[in-house]
Amino acid sequence: MTKIAVAQRPRSNLVSRRGLLGMGIGAGAAALLTACGSDNPHELSFWNFYGPSPTPSSTSDWFRSVTDEWNRNNDVKVRPRFIAGSAYMNGNTLQTAFSAGSGPDIFLLSPGDFLRYQNGGALLDLTPYLPAGAREDYVKGALDTRTVDDRVYALPMEIEPLVIYYDKRAFEQAHLAESDLPRTWDQFLDVGAKLTSRNRFGALFETLPGYYQNFVWYPFLWQGGGGAVADGKSIFDSEPARNALGFWRETQRRGISPKAALGGGSGDTPSNLVAGYCAMQQSGIWAVADLKTQAPKFDYGIFPLPIPEGGKQVTDGGGWAFAVNARGKNPEAAARFVAWALASTDAAGVDRARRWNTVAKTNLPPRESVRKAAEAHGDFTSGVLKTFATSIAPTLRSEPRYPPEVYKAISDAIQSTQLSGNAPGGAARQASDVIDNFLLTYRGGSIL
C-alpha cells in the first residue's frame, strides 16, 4: 500500500495542483451553484473542533500535520474541517448532517454520544483495520466504552482525568497551608467557605446542564459505590447517589459555589480560577496546557477529588475518540486513516500519538507504548503532570456511555438538587423511575 502510494505521489500532486488552479479560477461563480466534490470517494471529510482553526494553536497544528502527512502518502485525501467547540458539543451541525445522510466520513465522538451513534448504525467497526498488537497496547479499560460485542467502534485519542485545581495565592490570603488541602467532602466544604469572599467563590463545579456536567459529577457518585445502571435495571435510587447530589447542593447552600461559571464553563480554568472568580475549580488534565499557554505565571496546584467519609478515590477519565461514518463515501479508507493516525505501532505512529498527548495538549495517553515514549521524553516526570501520572491515573474510571435518556434523567436530578435545592431523595427516585421506564424498551449496546 505504502509503496504504491509513494510511486504515485508526483502524479497525484500534479492533479491536485491543477485541481486547485481550476477551483481558484471558477471559485466565484461555481461556488454559487455547485456543492463541490461532496461525493468524491477520494476526498474524506473529517469534522473536529481543533483544526485547522482560523487562528493558530498547537492542537490545530497537530491535526493539520497528521492530515498533511496522510495526504502526502495516500490517494484518498482527508480534509479536516474545523467546527468551533461550542457548536460541535452543544450544537446541531453534526446531528443535522447525519440525519440528512450527509454526515462527515470521519469525526470526533464523545463517550456520551457513543451508544446513540452505535445503535443508529452510524459507526463502522474498526477492528479489522487495527494493526496487530494495537488493541493490547491500549491501557486497561480504555477501549471498553468504545467496544460492543468485542468489536471496536471508535478509537480514543486521549484520557482526560478530573482533579481540583487551586489558586495558591488565594490559599495564602485565607491563611491556609498545603496541609489544609481538603481530602473529604466535609473538609472541602469548610475550606471552600474559608476561601469564599465578596468577590470570589470558594469552589467551582459545573452548573450548565449538559453532558459535561454529568461527566464531572459521576466521580462523586462512584466514590460512595453508586452507579446508574446495573443488570438492565436502574441503581440510581441509592444512598451514594443521594449523598453525591447532596454534596453539590451543599456547595450552593453555603454560597461556596457560583450558579454560573465564566467563559467556557467549569472546564475553563483561565476564565475562572486565573480570573479570581473562584479559588478551587474542578477541571481536567487539559487545563495544564491551557494554564501553561494562557497564564504561564499563575501559581496553582492540584489535588484529587475530595471523597466522602469512607469512600474510595476515583476519578472520571473523559476523552474523545475518532470514529468512522459507516455510511460515508469511502468508509474503508476512512477506517485506514483512523487506525493509522491513532493506533500505528511503529515509531512514527507512537510519536504522533505522543505529540498529541503531551505537546499539542496535555492528556494521559491511552496507549502503553505512548506512555512509555512520553516518559522517555521527560513528560510526566515532574510537576503536576507527574501527579497525574502517578497518583491520579490509578484511580481512573472511564467516562460512562449512557444513552441520552439516562443522561437526561441524571442531569435533571443534578440540576434540581444543585440549583433549585430540592431534596436529593426525591430527585434520585424520580430519575431512577425515568431510567427504569426507559430500560423497559431499550435495545442496543450494553450500558457501561
Partner 1 sequence: MRRGAALSADRHKRETRAAWLFLAPDAVGLLVFVAIPMVFALALSLFDVDGFGNYRWVGLDNFHRMLSDPMLGRAIWVTVKYVVLFVPLSFAFGLGLALLVWNTFPGVGVVRTLLFLPNALSLVVIGLLWQFLLVDKQGVLTKMGRPFGLGDVSFLGDPKWALPTYVLISVWYSMGYQMLLFLAGLNDINGEHLDAARVDGAGGWQRFRHVIWPLLGPTSFFVLITSLVASVTGLQAFDLVFVLTKGGPDNQTSTVVFYIYQQAFSFGHFGYAAAITVILVLFLVIVTAALFKVTGGGRLHAR
Partner 2 sequence: MPVETTDVTRTVDAPPRTPPRPVRRRRPRAGHLARAVIAWAVALITVFPLVWLLLTAFKPEGESFSGGLPSRWTFDNLTFVLTEVPFPRYLLNSAIVSVVVTALALLFHSMAAYALSRLRFRGSGLVLSAMVSTMLVSLPVILVPLFLIAKALGLLDNFAGLIVPMIFNAFGIFLLRQYYLNFPTELEDAAQLDGCGYPRLFWHVVLPLSRPALASLSVLFFLANWNAFLWPLVITSNPDLAVVQVGMSSLQGQYASAYNYVLAGSLIAVIPTILVFLLGQRWLIESMKSSGLK
The total number of residues written for the chain in this structure: 448
What are the contacts of 426-431 at 24+ separation with CB within 8 A? 427/245, 428/236, 428/237, 428/238, 428/241, 428/242, 428/245, 429/237, 431/234, 431/236, 431/237, 431/241
137/206 with CB nearer partner 1: 206
Q: Does 412 help bind partner 1 (rule: CB under 8 A)?
A: yes
Instruction: For residue 246, count CB atoms less than 10 angstroms from its CB and return exposed for 0-12, middle for 13-18, buried for 19 or more.
Output: buried
Which CB sits closer to partner 2, 31 or 376? 31
Binding of partner 1 by 210 (CB under 8 A): yes
Chosen residue from 10, 24, 54, 121 binding partner 1 by CB under 8 A: 121
Please identify which residue in the block is written with the cell numbers 431523595. Answer: 425
> Binding string to partner 1 for residues 248 to 267, with x set by CB under 8 A, is what?
-------x--xxx-x-----
CB of 370 to partner 2, least distance (A): 27
The interface partner of residue 209, options being partner 2, partner 1, none and the CB cut-off 5 to 8 Å by kind, is partner 1
Q: Which amino acid is at 19?
A: G
Which residues in 77-106 contact partner 1 (CB under 8 A)? 90-92, 95-96, 98-99, 101
User: Interface with partner 1 includes 200 (CB under 8 A)?
Assistant: yes
Q: Which residues bind partner 2 (CB under 8 A)?
A: 31-36, 38, 45, 47, 49, 53-55, 57, 81-87, 91-93, 96-97, 99-102, 104, 262-265, 268, 270-271, 274-275, 294
Q: Residue 3, interface with partner 1 (CB under 8 A)?
A: no
For partner 1, which is the closer residue by CB, 76 or 256?
Answer: 256
Which of partner 1, partner 2, none lies near 316, with the C-beta cut-off 5 to 8 A by kind?
none
Provide the minimum distance between the beta carbon of 414 and partner 2 in the complex, in angstroms, as a whole number.
Answer: 22
Measured from the CB atom, the residue of 16 and 99 that comes closer to partner 1 is 99
Calpha distance 417→420 (Å, rounded): 6
Asked if 369 is part of the footprint of partner 1 (rule: CB under 8 A), the reply reads: no
Task: By CB under 8 A, name the one of 77, 116, 329, 354 that touches partner 1.
Answer: 116
From partner 2, partner 1, none, which one binds at residue 420 (CB under 5 to 8 Å depending on kind)? Answer: partner 1
Among the residue ranges 125-133, 141-149, 164-172, 194-202, the one whose residues contact partner 1 (CB under 8 A): 194-202
Minimal distance in Å, beta carbon 271 to partner 2? Answer: 4
CA dihedral 94, 100, 106, 108 (to 10 degrees): 20
Gyration radius of the chain over CA positions: 23
Q: How far is the CB of 365 from partner 1 (least distance, A)?
A: 30
Q: Is 55 buried (19+), middle (13-18) or exposed (0-12) by CB count in 10 A?
A: exposed
Min dist. Cβ of residue 391 to partner 1 (A): 32
Other CB atoms within 10 Å distance of the CB of residue 141: 14
Long-range contact list for 220-227, CB < 8 A, 24+ apart? 220/244, 220/247, 220/248, 220/305, 222/314, 222/316, 222/397, 223/305, 223/307, 223/308, 223/311, 223/312, 223/313, 223/314, 224/308, 224/311, 225/311, 225/312
CB 344 within 8 A of CB 322: no
Which residue is listed with cell 479536516? Answer: 80
Nearer to partner 1, 51 or 111 (CB): 111
Question: Is residue 69 a contact point for partner 1 (CB under 8 A)?
Answer: no
Q: Is 54 in the site for partner 1 (CB under 8 A)?
A: no
CA distance 119 to 239: 32
Cα angle: 216, vertex 217, 219; to 5 degrees: 90
Structural contact between residues 207 and 389, judged by C-beta atoms closer than 8 angstroms: no
Q: Among 58, 65, 391, 415, which residue sits at the site for partner 1 (rule: CB under 8 A)?
A: 415
Binding partner at 300 among partner 1, partner 2, none, C-beta below 5 to 8 Å by kind: none
Binding site for partner 1 (CB under 8 A): 90-92, 95-96, 98-99, 101, 116-117, 119-122, 198-201, 207-210, 255, 258-260, 262, 277, 327, 404-405, 408, 412, 415-416, 418-420
